[in-house]
Amino acid sequence: MKVLIGVTGSIAIYKTCELIRLFIKRGDEVRVVMSKAASKFITPLTFEALTRNKVLIEKNENWAGELNHIDYAKWADIYIIAPATANTINKAANGIADNLLLQTYLATKAPVLFAPAANTHMYIHPTTQSSFKKLNIIEANAGLLACGDEGIGKMVEPEEIFLRALREVNKEEFWKGKKVAVTAGGSIEKIDDVRFISNFSSGKMGEALAKAFYIKGADVTLISSKEHNLSKEIKQIKVQSAEDYLKAILKENPDYLIMAAAIADFKPKYTPGKIKKEQIGEKMILKMEKNIDILESLKKKKFKRIGFKAERDEKNALKYAKQSLKKKNLDAVCLNLLTRNDFGSDENEIIFITKEKTEKFPQDSKENIAFRIADAVKHI
């Protein structure tokens, strides 16, 4: 992807360095255009070192080559203005192009995202609010601002802009308006009010799936026992027990359920309060009972259900996964062999199983595997 980043004069400019790093890490090519005011905060050399490309500024615009606002505008797959000052936003909304950055905005056919950074009073001013309605804005966060005021106006974190940009370029008509619920993490089953049993599930695969379906254009809800740093546009529901997961899924009533969470097969008999160690003695014996099977509980629901099966028995894993597919009337099962990738790994290898076929997704990052799964789910 060819990413053009416009930088205006704001203290939030330091976040743009991290935003560029995220795109470079993904393998994208990045170019930067700076306003004159932006150069007061940071030199073009910083961005040239990060991108390995010449930064376009008024002093070096060159019509003998590609270093000009027309060629940069044509080159881009997406144009992100971050940080975008109130001045830049109000000018852009009214077609004023009195600097290179805004001239590039008017010249490009690529989608444009604005990530505002402004004093609260400038941000909430009726003129600025009116301008927001004309542009593709990533709403700022609230908090303590650099000027000392408290309120909305902080530019969102780089990860948020990064995900929005990927969605803008990669969204598909198929996923528009479709609700996808993804579960992640491991269920937490209480022994008493201070103790619990759980498992080693990190939630990384579920988080990667939530991002993948969001980038594809779906309306995504992530239901998880873990904390996740995601776009504000991805709804997050924090849960603990299997019962919590089930209630959240039923409440969401999605078009697709991606059941990546590791739910405990058994749960302890819950005791309110705190069991005193004096009552326990030398050995603690837990009375366990069978937990609810979420996917089996939902087998009469009309939405598409994709299960995950983690196995260590390589010899019989495929057989067990196919049995689960049939027993729970699933649309697909993602088989994960823990002998190759244990809990918490950043990589995975999945065998995607439906009633019609079995497809192997070779060892790759969980992010790339998540996209493979999203593409496969589209066709079931």
Q: What domains, with CATH codes, occur in the chain?
A: 2-166 (3.40.50.1950), 172-377 (3.40.50.10300)
Crossing angle, helix 86-93 and helix 100-107, to 10 degrees?
40
Distance (Å) of CA 296 to CA 246, 328, 330, 359 = 11, 5, 9, 24
User: 217 - beta bridge partners?
Assistant: none
What pLDDT, on the 0 to 100 scale, is given for residue 275? 87
CA distance 165 to 149: 29
Residues 6+ apart with CB under 8 A from 205: 184, 260, 308, 336, 348, 366, 369, 370
What is the pLDDT, as a whole number, of residue 176?
97
pLDDT value at residue 361: 94
How close are the terminal C-alpha atoms of the chain, in Å? 28
Which structure tokens are listed for 289?
Answer: 């009972």
3-state SS, residue 289: strand
User: pLDDT (tens digit, 9 = 90+) per residue, 165-208?
Assistant: 999 999 999 999 999 999 999 999 999 999 999 998 999 999 99
According to the model, what pLDDT value does residue 298 have? Answer: 95
> How far apart are the C-alpha atoms of 163 and 127, rounded to whole Å?
28
Q: What is the pLDDT of residues 127-168, one digit of tens each?
A: 999 999 999 999 998 887 877 778 899 999 999 999 999 999
pLDDT, residue 119, reads 93
Catalytic residues: 147
> H or E stretch including 319?
helix 317-327
Mean pLDDT over 119-127 rounds to 95
- Give the separation between CA 22 and CA 250, rounded to whole angstroms: 35
Tell me: the pLDDT tens digits for 287-343? Answer: 999 999 999 999 889 999 999 998 888 788 899 899 999 999 999 999 988 766 666
Scored b (16 or more CB within 10 A) or e, 89-114 reads bbbbbeeeeebbbbbbbebbebebbb
Q: What is the pLDDT of residues 16-70, one digit of tens each?
A: 999 999 999 999 999 999 999 999 999 999 999 999 999 999 999 989 888 999 9
Residue 283 pLDDT > 90: no
Task: Give the Cα separation of 346 and 210 in Å (integer).
Answer: 15
Report the chain's mean pLDDT, rounded to a whole number: 94
Residue indicated by tokens 């073009």 = 44
pLDDT at 285: 86
Which H or E run includes 82? strand 78-84
CB atoms within 10 A of CB 233: 14
* Rounded distance between C-alpha atoms, residue 269 and residue 125, angstroms: 57
Question: What does the alpha-carbon distance between residue 174 and residue 111 come to, in Å, rounded to a whole number?
Answer: 19
DSSP code, position 186: B
pLDDT tens digits, 76-118: 999 999 999 999 999 999 999 999 999 999 999 999 999 999 9
Cα 5 from chain centroid? 20
Using an 8 Å Cβ cutoff, are 179 and 252 in contact? yes
Burial 244-269 (b: 16+ CB within 10 A, else e): bbbebbeebebbbbbbbbbbbeebbe
pLDDT of residue 317: 86
Q: What are phi and psi of 210, to 5 degrees?
A: -60, -45
What pLDDT score was predicted for residue 341? 64
Residue 27: C-alpha distances to residues 121, 138, 170, 182, 326 (Å): 38, 23, 15, 27, 40
Nearest CA-CA partner of 212 in 230, 196, 197, 192: 230
